[in-house]
């Protein structure tokens, strides 16, 4: 039991930030804290199931917690909400801000399925095998999804697509 | 030099979000969450959630009348910590409809609701109808009444009204329903039996209390024996 607690505390301290980040980039910040805590409560109760490399397992649990408990309450994802504020404040400032605005607009215009794949790699820092575990798909399936999502993001970032993308993003952010 | 790799650009664009996420929970709160988790029961998750179908009509007048009805012919409320439990209920008392509940050590009377529980419930009751106590380290418990739709029929063939959401638990001689709403928030609804009327529940809404503590708080204020529900 003491060993279990020690192991759990190590897992918790090493992974809390990753789980919180995962949740906060998908739902509103206050609920993200609840999701992180709920995720580790599951891990505590199912410690025997937690693998030696627990991050993907934990993020998979967090994903289910979000899907199961918060779907109906948070239809707009955190990013869409944040984007509205970002767009209001970013204006025509420095090139980095402009690029960020452009990338986020293009990202928000993608389908949620693509966004989730891209988030796992770009923001959660997972490799293909870990991301596949989180989504519960094979590594091959994830690689295909990532390839497609990346191409769609590239297309959305092409200069010619700027105007329609922004229009679509606006619709998405308010859906 | 700006990268053209879309994934890298997306990663860069997301950095402020991640930094904001890191700031959501400081070290102290992170350790507090850890303490709560490792202090919790490790049995497999067993909570069931049912759609909330109850309407809240709690009102002081109704509550007072209910208390009078419930205590009629039975012993005065006998505070108890429950068989075999070693819980120190030495905090401030909270009162709802004539029942006086004890709270855990360190709790003092609070004029603020534990959360938006009352306000967020459809047809929510007047916030003055609750009684709450809070602890310095963030714990909180409040008591109020909830009257469900449907009648407890005297006809034995009639279907019973739907129970409140949560897992059925024993609260002394009463039937309770415990619902863990998140890692820190929970609701215990205790059925106060009365025949031929709408089902009435004592509701304890708590933050940072265990299931055992909530049950003990409920038991501390209810008569040991529920009133008879025999139909005429």
Q: Would you put residue B75 in left (φ > 0), alpha (ψ -120 to 50) or beta?
A: beta
Residue of B nearest to A46 (CA): B44
Q: CA A11 → CA A40, B18, B121, B213, distances in Å?
A: 9, 20, 37, 28
φ, ψ (nearest 5 deg) of residue B168: -65, 130
Helical axes A112-122 vs B6-22, angle rounded to 10°: 80
Of all residues in chain A, the percent with pLDDT exceeding 90 is: 42
pLDDT of chain B, 232 residues: tens digit per residue? 556 789 999 998 888 888 888 888 999 899 999 998 888 777 644 444 333 333 333 333 334 444 444 444 343 333 343 343 456 788 888 887 677 888 888 888 877 767 544 444 433 344 335 667 777 666 788 888 777 655 556 666 766 677 777 788 889 888 898 887 766 778 888 888 765 666 778 888 888 788 888 899 999 988 887 766 655 5
Query: What residues of B are in contact with residue A16 (Cβ under 8 Å)?
Result: 25, 30
Beta-carbon contacts below 8 Å between A and B: 107
Whether residue A99 and residue B7 make contact (CB cut-off 8 A), yes or no, is: no
Top residue of B24, B46, B211 to mutate, by most chain A CBs within 10 Å, is B24
Ranking A36-45, A106-115, B10-19, B122-131 by mean pLDDT, the lowest is: B122-131
Q: Judging by DSSP bridges, how do beta strands B167-171 and B99-101 pair with one another?
A: unpaired
Query: What residues of B are in contact with residue A99 (Cβ under 8 Å)?
Result: 2, 9, 12-13
User: CA B117 to CA B104: how far, in whole Å?
Assistant: 21
Query: What residues of A are in contact with residue B46 (Cβ under 8 Å)?
Result: none
Query: What residues of A are in contact with residue B11 (Cβ under 8 Å)?
Result: 122-123
Whether residue A44 and residue B33 make contact (CB cut-off 8 A), yes or no, is: no
Q: Residue A93, exposed/middle/buried by CB under 10 A (0-12, 13-18, 19+)? A: exposed
Put simply, whether the predicted model's pTM sits higher than 0.80 gets the answer: no
Shortest distance, CA B165 to any CA of chain A (angstroms): 15
Q: Is the CB of residue A155 less than 8 Å from the CB of residue A161?
A: yes
């Amino acid at each position: 039991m003491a060993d279990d607690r020690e192991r759990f505390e190590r897992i918790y301290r090493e992974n809390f930030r990753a789980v919180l980040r995962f949740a906060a980039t998908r739902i509103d910040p206050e609920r993200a804290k609840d999701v992180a805590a709920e995720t580790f409560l599951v891990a505590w109760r199912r410690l025997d199931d937690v693998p030696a490399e627990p991050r993907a397992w934990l993020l998979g649990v967090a994903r289910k917690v979000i899907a199961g408990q918060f779907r109906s309450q948070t239809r707009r994802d955190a990013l869409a909400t944040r984007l509205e504020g970002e767009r209001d404040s970013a204006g025509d400032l420095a090139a980095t801000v402009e690029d960020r605005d452009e990338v986020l607009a293009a990202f928000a215009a993608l389908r949620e399925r693509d966004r989730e794949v891209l988030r796992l790699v770009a923001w959660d820092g997972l490799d293909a095998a870990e991301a596949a575990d989180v989504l519960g798909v094979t590594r091959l399936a994830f690689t295909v999804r990532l390839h497609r999502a990346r191409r769609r993001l590239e297309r959305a970032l092409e200069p010619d697509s700027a105007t329609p993308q922004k229009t679509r993003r606006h619709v998405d952010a308010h859906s | 030099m700006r990268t053209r790799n879309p994934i890298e650009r997306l990663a860069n664009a997301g950095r402020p979000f991640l930094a904001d996420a890191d700031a959501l929970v400081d070290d102290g709160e992170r350790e507090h969450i850890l303490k709560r988790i490792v202090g919790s029961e490790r049995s497999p998750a067993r909570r069931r959630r049912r759609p909330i179908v109850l309407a809240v009509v709690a009102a002081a007048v109704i509550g007072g009348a209910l208390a009078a009805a419930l205590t009629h012919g039975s012993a005065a409320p006998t505070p108890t910590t429950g068989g075999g439990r070693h819980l120190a209920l030495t905090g401030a008392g909270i009162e709802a409809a004539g029942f006086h509940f004890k709270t855990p050590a360190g709790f003092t009377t609070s004029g603020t609701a534990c959360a938006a529980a009352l306000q967020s419930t459809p047809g929510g009751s007047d916030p003055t109808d609750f009684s709450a106590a809070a602890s310095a380290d963030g714990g909180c418990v409040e008591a109020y009444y909830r009257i469900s739709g449907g009648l407890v029929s005297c006809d034995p063939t009639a279907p019973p009204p739907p129970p409140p959401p949560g897992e059925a638990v024993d609260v002394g001689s009463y039937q309770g329903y415990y619902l863990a709403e998140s890692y820190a928030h929970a609701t215990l609804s205790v059925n106060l039996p009365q025949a031929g009327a709408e089902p009435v529940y004592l509701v304890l809404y708590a933050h940072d209390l265990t299931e055992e503590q909530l049950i003990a708080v409920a038991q501390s204020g209810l008569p040991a024996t529920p009133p008879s529900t025999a139909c005429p």
